[in-house]
């Protein structure tokens, strides 16, 4: 069957039926792509609120994760999809978070290898300090496309995390500008940018670097913030529970969950 030929109504019906089906305990999405924004107004949020279940994914699935949290207050999970690399690193976070109900601290690997300093998976502190709030966010371009709708949660005094893939840096600048103009950046308590995989200057002459773009938009906010967390289109990734209260340390690049995500 050609998946692209399936209607929005049919896709939404599948999600609604999975939540109403007592034999379904959790929903692990197969992959990202595009299309979740198209079905947000077809989801039965009242039924979903009555039948809370785990849903996990990332990239385009950001739409569902944010909308379900906004409309039902359920915790959703930014983590591996079916086609992800289910290696020991990523699977360990899924196990501890979803199967064991742990609250713990997530920090990047610190292995330097043969180097005198860490060069892989290092963090870049944008503004130091600690902050608390609910973790909310996901893919930058998908989240930005939801601005102005009723499907975004309240970011005030909460922690925004973002990741991206395959975007020229000027586009990242454009999207962060939109979040700024929409008032979202000005109300958050903390900021985490994960990985921006395959993001470069494209054909733009004299483009800013990604670090410069983040400095321009985030440093003036004066809130704890860093770049390089293990979140995004990468093999080794954290699983981030949306809607769970956490404490972040921008100097260490750590995310400490202050409560369990499942009960």
Dump pLDDT digits (tens) for 18-38: 999 999 999 999 888 888 999
Q: How many CB atoms lie within 10 A of CB 120?
A: 10
How is residue 259 written in tokens? Answer: 């409560």
CB of 68 within 8 A of CB of 242?
no
CB-based burial label for 237 (10 Å; 0-12, 13-18, 19+): buried
164 in active site: no
Which candidate in 59, 84, 90, 254 is catalytic?
Answer: 59
Q: How many CB atoms lie within 10 A of CB 178?
A: 17
Beta pairing class for 54-57 and 76-78: parallel
* pLDDT reported for residue 5: 57
Residues ≥6 apart with Cβ < 8 Å to 246: 132, 133, 134, 135, 159, 255, 256, 257, 258
Task: Return d(Cα 156, Cα 70) in angstroms, integer.
Answer: 13
The model's pLDDT over 121-178, given as tens digits with 9 standing for 90+, comes to 889 999 999 999 999 999 999 999 999 999 999 999 999 999 999 899 999 999 999 9
Task: Return d(Cα 62, Cα 43) in angstroms, integer.
Answer: 15
CB of 70 within 8 A of CB of 48?
no
The residue count of the chain comes to: 263
The CATH code of domain 3-257 reads 3.50.30.60
Q: How far is CA 241 from CA 13, 42, 97, 186, in A?
A: 25, 24, 8, 22
Which candidate in 63, 84, 127, 163 is catalytic?
Answer: 163
Task: Return d(Cα 50, Cα 116) in angstroms, integer.
Answer: 54
Mean pLDDT of the chain: 93
59 in active site: yes
- Collapse the DSSP code of 52 into the 3-class scheme (helix H, G, I; strand E, B; otherwise coil) and give the result: coil
Q: Tell me what percent of the residues of the chain surpass a pLDDT of 70.
A: 94
Q: Is the dihedral of CA 158, 164, 169, 171 positive or negative?
A: negative
Mean pLDDT, residues 57-62 = 96
Task: Return d(Cα 83, Cα 72) in angstroms, integer.
Answer: 27
Mean pLDDT, residues 47-72 = 96
* pLDDT reported for residue 126: 98
* pLDDT reported for residue 205: 59
Task: Return d(Cα 179, Cα 141) in angstroms, integer.
Answer: 11
Residues ≥6 apart with Cβ < 8 Å to 7: none
Q: Per-residue confidence at 221, pLDDT binned at 50, 70, 90? A: very high
Which candidate in 189, 229, 233, 254 is catalytic?
Answer: 233
* pLDDT reported for residue 33: 84
Strands (E), 128-189: 130-139, 159-165
| 113 has pLDDT over 50 | yes
* pLDDT reported for residue 31: 86
How is residue 68 written in tokens? Answer: 């379900």
The model's pLDDT over 72-102, given as tens digits with 9 standing for 90+, comes to 999 999 999 989 899 999 999 999 999 999 9
How is residue 32 written in tokens? Answer: 């990202």
163 in active site: yes
Residues ≥6 apart with Cβ < 8 Å to 144: 175, 178, 179
């Amino acid at each position: 069957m050609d998946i692209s030929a399936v209607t929005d109504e049919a896709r939404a019906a599948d999600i609604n039926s999975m939540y109403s089906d007592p034999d379904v305990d959790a929903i692990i999405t197969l992959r990202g792509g595009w299309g979740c924004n198209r079905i947000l107004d077809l989801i039965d949020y009242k039924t979903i609120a009555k039948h809370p279940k785990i849903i996990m994914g990332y990239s385009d699935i950001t739409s569902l994760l944010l909308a379900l949290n906004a409309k039902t207050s359920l915790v959703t999970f930014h983590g591996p999809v079916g086609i992800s690399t289910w290696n020991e690193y990523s699977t360990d976070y899924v196990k501890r978070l979803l199967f064991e109900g742990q609250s713990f601290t997530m920090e990047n690997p610190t292995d330097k290898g043969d180097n005198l300093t860490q060069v892989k998976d290092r963090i870049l502190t944008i503004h130091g300090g600690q902050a608390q709030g609910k973790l909310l966010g996901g893919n930058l371009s998908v989240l930005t496309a939801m601005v102005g709708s009723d499907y975004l949660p309240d970011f005030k005094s909460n922690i925004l995390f973002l990741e991206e893939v395959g975007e020229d840096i000027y586009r990242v600048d454009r999207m962060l500008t939109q979040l700024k103009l929409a008032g979202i950046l000005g109300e958050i308590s903390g900021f985490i940018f994960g990985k921006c995989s395959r993001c470069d200057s494209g054909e733009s002459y004299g483009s800013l670097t990604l670090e410069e773009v983040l400095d321009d938009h985030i440093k003036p906010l004066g809130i704890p913030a860093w770049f390089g967390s293990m979140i995004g289109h990468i093999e080794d990734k954290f699983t981030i529970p949306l809607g769970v209260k956490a404490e972040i340390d921008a100097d260490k690049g750590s995310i400490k969950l202050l409560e369990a995500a499942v009960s």
